[in-house]
Structure 1
Amino acid sequence: MKGKYSFEAVISAAILIIIIVVLFLEIILRYFLGASLIWGEELSIYLFVWFVYISMSYAIMADSHIKVDSLSNLVPKKYRIYFTQIGILIWIVFSCIFVYFTFNYALDTMHQERVSVATGLPLWLVYAGIPLGFLLTIVRLIVEFINNFKVLKRSGE
């Protein structure tokens, strides 16, 4: 994916820049003024949650997730794509389950009207990053599954 930018890459980079700026500001204030931002650390943690889960789908597109391929290396090369497809399907099912539970948790948090102590942010906004990241992951996995299927079709398998 060299030279291409995705929605996930741009959002992840923006979030990371904000985290770096907030933490840098926090360090400067503590070191030079002996003061601190009340909300800086908390905001950085919440943004990091969003960063991790949105970057997860980007890593699929960039093919940079850690993979255990010892089992697929035992079979002939022409059958390896089938192992990949099965793995993608399992990952999709896992992601769907995770979306269901994390979405419900975020919804419960919204109904309880819970807010963060330092920032005052509604906590459902923080938790909403998790199901969103998994939804984006599902989309990227489906695209990868379809692309692999096209490769299978072209190779006449």
Structure 2
Amino acid sequence: MSAKYAPKSALGRAVHSFEETAIAVILGLMTLITFVNVVLRYVFSHSMIWGLEATLILFAWLVLFGMSYAVKVTAHLGVDAVMGMVGHGPRRVMALASAALCLIYAFLLMKGAWDYWAPFGGFDQTGGRWFPEGFIKTRDQAWYETETIPMPDWLRFIEGPMNAGEHYGKLPRFIPYFILPFGVALLFFRLAQAAWDVLRGRREALIVSHEAEDAVADVRHLNAEE
């Protein structure tokens, strides 16, 4: 689907390249860790005890980072049967209404993501049940560690500001958990971009992917060639 997305500015191309590279690296690391662990287990009767947790974290990063990328390149699937039955004007109104609902949902999700991650990062949660009403004092949980992932020595510099100088035995949770507020904030940004494009007439809807129709067209084309 990314082939249909063509960023026009140099910054857009750089960001697009970074996102695709990050997704490829995450997928590559998941595959590599899993493959090495299988070889170690069945050939050498050994295993990387942290491999499973690292793979789970990378999968979460892939999902939370990839959902905003899919909005940008219109790779999400959707049902547009009703929109296809109406004219351009009503279709645009429906698209803007759905965009507004998606933005509200992403905003609420962003608040929840921050409130969940903030204690692990040594920050305060937001007050209010639905919308932020300032910050409330929150117990610092930056000392929480992952279960099995070792702490890299090159990250020891964070022990001073984040853990009052105390030693981390394992990787602190605020590092892998950071993808939660970051990924949701990026999703909100991409949805806002898509809504702006709908408003300006650059796209008809947030979801414009038709994988099933494309697959049928490909099969029809292959059959015609035969």
The normalised TM-score by structure 1 is 0.88
- Say if 2:120 and 2:173, in contact at 8 Å, map to a contact too: yes
What letter matches 2:175 in structure 1? L
Residue 131 of structure 1 is matched in structure 2 by: 181
Aligned match of 2:73 in 51, 55, 62? 62
**Structure 1 stretch displaced more, 130-139 or 4-13:** 4-13
Indicate the percent of aligned positions where both proteins have the same amino acid: 24
Q: How far apart in 1 are the matches of 2:104 and 2:81?
A: 22
What letter matches 1:76 in structure 2? G
Larger Rg: 2
- Say if 1:95 and 1:134, in contact at 8 Å, map to a contact too: yes
Residue 64 of structure 2 is matched in structure 1 by: 53
Residue 155 of structure 1 is matched in structure 2 by: none
How far the C-alpha of 1:19 sits from its partner, in A, is 0.9
Q: How many residues align?
A: 152
Residue 100 of structure 1 is matched in structure 2 by: 111
Q: How far apart in 1 are the matches of 2:180 and 2:84?
A: 33
Which of 1 and 2 has higher RCO (CA within 8 Å, sep 6+)? 1
- Say if 2:109 and 2:184, in contact at 8 Å, map to a contact too: yes
Residue 10 of structure 1 is matched in structure 2 by: 21
Q: How far apart in 2 are the matches of 1:127 and 1:95?
A: 18
Aligned match of 1:44 in 55, 63, 72? 55
Residue 145 of structure 1 is matched in structure 2 by: 195
What letter matches 2:196 in structure 1? I
Q: How far apart in 2 are the matches of 1:107 and 1:10?
A: 28
Residue 42 of structure 2 is matched in structure 1 by: 31
Q: How far apart in 2 are the matches of 1:132 and 1:62?
A: 19
**Structure 1 stretch displaced more, 134-143 or 77-86:** 77-86
1:90-120 deviations in whole A, cap 9, x for unaligned? 1111111111111111112332121111012
* Alignment RMSD: 1.8
Q: How far apart in 2 are the matches of 1:9 and 1:22?
A: 20
**Structure 1 stretch displaced more, 17-26 or 138-147:** 138-147
What letter matches 2:94 in structure 1? F
* Structure 2, gaps ≥5 residues long: 7-12, 122-139, 150-169, 203-226
What SS is found at the alignment partner of 2:200? Answer: helix
* Structure 1, gaps ≥5 residues long: 153-157
How far the C-alpha of 1:26 sits from its partner, in A, is 0.5
**Structure 1 stretch displaced more, 52-61 or 64-73:** 64-73
The normalised TM-score by structure 2 is 0.62
Which residues of 2 match residues 114-129 of structure 1 at below 5 A?
A: 114-119=144-149, 120-129=170-179
